[in-house]
Amino acid sequence: MTQQQPITILTAALGGEGGGVLAEWLVEIATRAGHPAQSTSIPGVAQRTGATTYYVEIHLQTHAELGGRTPVLSLAPVPGCVDLMVASELLEAVRAIQNGFVSPGRTTLLASSGRTLTTFEKLAPGDGRFDSERLLQVAAANSRQLASFDVAATARETGTVPSAVLCGAIAGSGVLPFARADFEAVIRASGRGVEASLRGFALGFARCGAALGGAPAPTPCVPAGTLAAQADLIELGHARVVEFQDAAYGELYLQRVERLRQAERRADPQGLQGTELAREGARFLALWMAFDDVIRVADLKSRAGRFARVRAEAGAAADDLLRIADHFKPGVTELAGLLPPSAGRRLLAWESRRRQAGKAPLGLALKLRADSISGFLALRLLAGLRPLRRRGQRYAAEQALIELWLAAVEQAAARDWQAGLELALCARLVKGYGATNERAKDNLRHIVEHLAHSNAHDIARARSAALADEAGSGLDQALLQAGAPPRAIKPVPVRWFKAGAR
């Protein structure tokens, strides 16, 4: 870099993190010091498929040194010519590397070690998350120097937004020729949330310095002995199930866990394999038994803890007005789930006939203000139907499938411990809601009915295929390789429209 070349800074930030404010701060800092500077931004894509990028160029010579000349600054970054890359999310840093903006010979990379999952990671039936350790290795190998710490956690710890923390990290990196006091003066001049922003700035400054080899950075206070660390996995599962329904339902959970334990003891009386079958079976059983129906959703959305969490995430002060609007679209499936099994099945059959005739599924779009009296009472009224859940069609269907799975695990374990374990892990398939949940349970039912007597390898291959491919083509192939029939092809009705109709 020479005096005639500007310092180039590229920032990738997610929505609501203050990336635009950060760019304005950097330009203001440079302008106050007499340096020509400008910033541009490119909006990202919604639903977490890309960050908004902010590009800043700061000329190293001041206006006085330029003697009346005006430098021409670029509106967009050039691959390989970025001095400082700032990413508020780890995968966004790797995306910048993939796009060529980060170079090992020039770029200092400031990247959060925290993750905000992308849409594609969330859509994966199994664990679709990218390996964070691998992402950090890629970031370190492709940058001149890497400073990484959890920006979002630091912002929460100091009660501010990520932009303030990133500003501190930029100051702590030493890439810009400005003193710490220059950064702090601009933050003070912003006039809003100053104290919290300065706290975030200070901690970001310290943690960036520590990451680049300076003094150890202060660490957040983590309460000793959290619930997850203290409690046994089965105790946690029991607590979740009791919270979902009642003590009797919790007792049913413990009875089912004991069946898993007994099956494992019979398969491995010496305990040579440990207790993985019972432990993993109990884990997924608790998640399954506490299924997400409309009663549970209404209960979770109307809890006091939820309002406190939303207020904290939004950064709202105690005297700030906070409004929360929840959008629902209940359909026939949700209504049928609340009815007695016979009535629910008839209603589902009627909806199925409608769908086969080419009609659109019935649904009612609702918008409830959870912070209003009417909206809150509606949610609490729906949550109050919990005692009636046991009489509903959805409850009966879930329990029947759980019993089918549990019996298959017992039978498989009696033949081979490993086969029993692989079948127990198949409960992991049950996740999501709506059509995704139904498709997952159909896959599980097919595996249980056709592979319960197969070897562990075939069961594991079918489960992995089902988790990797939501469409199910991989699962069908795995079933055929195991000598089992593929899933039945479900008819999709053809919908006809008049010419010119929308």
**Whether 200 and 315 share a structural domain:** no
Q: Could you give the 3-state DSSP secondary structure of residue 325?
A: strand
Question: Is the predicted pLDDT of residue 341 greater than 70, yes or no?
Answer: yes
What are the residues whose beta carbons fall under 8 Å from the beta carbon of 406, sequence distance 6 or more?
256, 259, 260, 285
Taking residue 10's Cβ as centre, other Cβ atoms within 10 Å add up to: 23
Of the chain, the percentage scoring pLDDT greater than 90 comes to: 64
Residue 384 belongs to domain spanning: 303-391
Same domain, 51 and 192: yes
- Residues 477 and 497: their CA atoms lie apart, in Å, by 36
- Based on the fold, state whether residues 324 and 194 are members of the same structural domain: no
Residue 35 shares a structural domain with residue 154: yes
Nearest alpha-carbon partner for 187 in 175, 173, 174, 200: 200
Same domain, 323 and 192: no
User: Does one domain contain both 12 and 118?
Assistant: yes
With beta carbons less than 8 A apart as the criterion, state whether 390 and 337 touch: no
CATH of the domain at 59: 3.40.920.10
H or E segment and range at residue 9: strand 6-13
Looking at the fold, whether 185 and 321 belong to one and the same domain comes out as no
Interacting residues of 333 by C-beta distance below 8 A, sequence separation 6+: 348, 351, 434
Domain membership flag for residue 354: yes
Other CB atoms closer than 10 Å to residue 355's CB: what's the count?
A: 17
Compute the distance between CA of residue 184 and CA of residue 175 in angstroms, rounded to an integer.
16
- What pLDDT does 218 receive? 44
pLDDT confidence tier of residue 166, bands split at 50, 70 and 90:
very high
Q: With 60 as the cut, is the pLDDT of residue 219 above it?
A: no
Name the more confident of 224 and 326.
326
Contacts of 345 (CB under 8 A, 6+ apart): 336, 393
- Name, in order, each residue with C-beta under 8 angstroms of 273's C-beta and a sequence gap of 6 or more: 264, 417, 421
Q: Which residue in this structure is represented by tokens 């001041």?
A: 62
Does any domain span residue 346? yes
- Among 180, 211, 242, the domain boundary falls at 211
In a domain, 442, yes or no: no
Last residue of a domain, one of 211, 242, 276: 211
* Residue 344 in domain: yes
42-98 residue pLDDT tens? 886 644 456 789 999 999 999 999 988 889 999 999 998 999 999 999 999 999 999
Longest Cα–Cα distance of the chain, Å, equals: 88
88 and 199 share a domain? yes
184 and 72 fall within a common domain: yes
Name the amino acid, one letter, at 405: W
Query: Is a pLDDT exceeding 90 seen at residue 192?
Result: no
Residue 178: inside a domain: yes
Of 179, 211, 243, the position where a domain reaches its end is 211
- Output b/e per residue, 11-24; b: 16+ Cβ within 10 A: bbbbeebbbebbbb
Same domain flag for 201 and 307:
no
Residues 192 and 340 in one domain: no
Residue 405 included in any domain: no
Q: How much is the CA Rg of the chain, to the nearest whole Å?
A: 28
Q: Determine the pLDDT at residue 458.
A: 94
Per-residue pLDDT of 121-140, as tens digits, reads 877 777 788 889 999 999 99
Q: 231 in a domain, yes or no?
A: no
Shared domain check, 311 and 195: no
The more confident residue out of 428 and 496 is: 428
Per-residue pLDDT of 240-278, as tens digits, reads 999 999 999 999 999 999 999 999 999 988 888 888 999
pLDDT tens column, 488-501: 887 777 777 777 65
Number of domains in the chain: 2
Nearest residue to 30 via CA among 166, 175, 208: 175
- pLDDT of 228: 39
Q: Is residue 138 part of a domain?
A: yes
- 35 or 356, which is more confident: 35
